[in-house]
Structure 1
Amino acid sequence: MKKYKLLWLCTVLVCLTLVFVGYRAKAQTFNSDLPFLIHTAESLNGKVTEWTLFTRETVHLASNKSWNQKTKSLHKQFPNMAWTYVKNRDSKTYTGISRKNNYVETIKLLSTNVNGKSYSFLIYEVSGKHWNDHKVENLNKMVSSQLDKLYDKKPVIFSCIQGHFSDKIDNVLLYEKNRLLKSLQAKKVEALEENDFYSVSAYSSKLSQELSTKKKEEMNVQIGLRKSGLGANTNFVIGTPIITIEY
């Protein structure tokens, strides 16, 4: 279990580096890729158990005064959120949470020290366990409005879903990987393959954002598949343009 988690975290860390190398968004207004990802998984008889929208931007806070000013500004902009402050030896976090019927909205200001240097990030996340197609337009409008308040530029939105397939066939990981790539109309760019773990990076013209790898290849979707024992479910995580959650 630890082996697969380590492999997955290594993949995530490498790919997160690509975000800072460069990215571009095809559309100026936000439209969620979640419906496409969810419908693809469900069309293959997969059960989606959680979905997430995530983005972050580096912010420059050179002093405690600028940090305090930023936290006050966030509290003023989003007064309906429940705000908490946590500080430890190497980091401090100011977090606002708003819980709705179908999702949880989180804003986080995080500062951390690495090798004597301070780095600060403004993080926005929306997550839920149940998807409602009828509320997609309202969700898109809400996210667009929040991003306009939070960020100076249009950031990349990382969309992720996770769940499981209940197939009990031989070579199930290879089978599910090929089915997902076909349904997403995605072409494999690179992959990490083990007996009971697959991680695949690919490109699909059906998705709204993309990254450029160091090899100058375009990618905008990652698929993680893990088999956890004989006859067990196949767990999946699908993310665009990359997966940002621990798996």
Structure 2
Amino acid sequence: MNLAKNIHYILLGCLMIFVLGNNTNASDESSPLLLLTDSVKSVDGLIEEWALHTRERLTEEKPDDAVRRLQTNLTGWKIGSANRDENVQFTAARTKGTVHQKVQVVSSDTDGGVVYVLYSVTAADEEEMRTFLAQELKPTYSQIFHSTPQIFTCIKGKFDDKLEEVLPNQLSKLLSSWEAEKKEAVFEKNFYSLSAYSTHFISSLSLPDHEMNVQVGLRKDQRGEGTNFVIGTPLITIEY
């Protein structure tokens, strides 16, 4: 496992602590995704996927009660089978156009049997995602969660330029538009990862030496001359 992946998994390990300690309004959480979208488009980035991820630890109800509640609330969703081998007690999915939603009730062996409700949304069309954020996110969110756990937002796509050209151009312009302060960077052959802090984004993640709330991963496209990107706030939660 290379250094960049090590850093990625360390940050993912912080996700549980961060989610449990931060609540916010779901309607406010669409703005970071839209800010990422608009800023990347302004530097000619082609966005191929939009994603939201969050989870809530079950403390107010038993897992079986949560499953029954979700089955009742998520009318029109496709209910899947439980998979005890993977600690999945419930799963439901709904697809509308390119917008795909998924809900799971999952127990964690590493957390002493703690149970979480996981929720994710992905889309491959900007207008469909914008419509979902404006019309469906808040009511769906309230049907799934008791509180309002932090939403992690990510976009992925491609720049036409080579990695060596993206760093001083598109990336530099993005950091400037966010008024972001660079915190950590990893540069390997054909790969660059950056963590930064910007007051333009709502939430932040406290690390031992600093706070961060936006992360950028850039990788040379092995099939062509372009550069693949993944950008997330407050950190990237999808593989890059």
Q: TM-score, normalised by structure 1?
A: 0.83
Q: Relative to 1, partners in 2 of residues 1:199 and 1:56: Cα closer, same or farther, differing over 3 Å?
A: same
Report if aligned partners of 1:92, 1:112 keep a CA contact under 8 Å in 2: no
CA deviation after TM superposition for structure 1 residue 167, in Å: 0.4
Which sections of structure 2, spanning at least 5 residues, go unmatched? Answer: none
Equivalent position amino acid for 1:227 in 2 = K
Letter in 2 for 1:218: E
Superposed CA deviations along residues 31-75 of structure 1, whole A, max 9, x for unmatched, are 41222111111111111000001111111499xxx3333211110
8 Å contact 1:30–1:140 — kept in the other structure?
Answer: no
Cα distance change, pair 104–232 in 1 and its aligned pair in 2 (3 A): same
Provide the residue aligned with 2:161 in structure 1: 167
Helix, strand or coil at the partner of 1:153: coil
Matched, 1:219 2:217: no
2:19 and 2:55 in contact (8 A); partners too: no
- Looking at structure 2, the residues matched to 169 and 119 of structure 1 have their Cα atoms a distance apart, in angstroms, of 42
Query: Quick one: structure 1 residues 233 and 7, their matched pair in 2 at CA, closer, same or farther if it must change by over 3 Å?
Result: farther
Q: Pick closer, same or farther for the CA change 1:230–1:80 going to 2, 3 Å.
A: closer
1:96–1:108 contact (8 Å) kept in structure 2: yes
Matches within 5 A, 1:110-129: 110-114=106-110, 117-129=112-124
CA shift in 2, pair 1:55/1:236, >3 Å: same
Determine the structure 2 residue equivalent to 1:238.
231
Higher relative strand content: 1
Name the CA shift for 1:91/1:50 in 2 (closer, same or farther; >3 Å).
same
* 2:94 paired residue number: 98
Is the 1:190–1:201 Cα contact (8 Å) retained in structure 2? yes
| Partner Cα distance (2:171, 2:141) in 1 | 33
How high is the sequence identity, in percent, across the aligned residues? 31
**For 1:48, what is the secondary structure of its paired residue?**
strand
Q: Which has the higher contact order (CA 8 A, sep 6+)?
A: 1
Structure 2 Cα separation of the partners of residues 148 and 21 of structure 1:
17
Between 103-112 and 178-187, report the one with greater CA deviation. Answer: 178-187
> Offset at 1:130?
0.7
* Paired residues for 1:1-247 under 5 Å: 3=2, 6-7=5-6, 9-16=8-15, 19=18, 22-23=21-22, 25=24, 29-32=27-30, 33-60=32-59, 66-89=62-85, 91-114=87-110, 117-132=112-127, 136=130, 139-168=133-162, 170=164, 172-173=166-167, 175-215=169-209, 217-229=210-222, 232-247=225-240
Displacement of 1:200 in angstroms is 1.1
| Conserved 8 A contact 2:26-2:151 | no
Check conservation: 1:90, 1:112, Cα contact below 8 A: no
Distance 2:222 2:26 in 1: 44
- Computed over aligned residues only, the root mean square deviation of the Cα atoms, in angstroms, reads 2.8
Aligned residues: 239
User: How much has 1:20 moved relative to structure 2?
Assistant: 5.5
Q: Secondary structure at the match of 1:37?
A: helix
Letter in 2 for 1:245: I
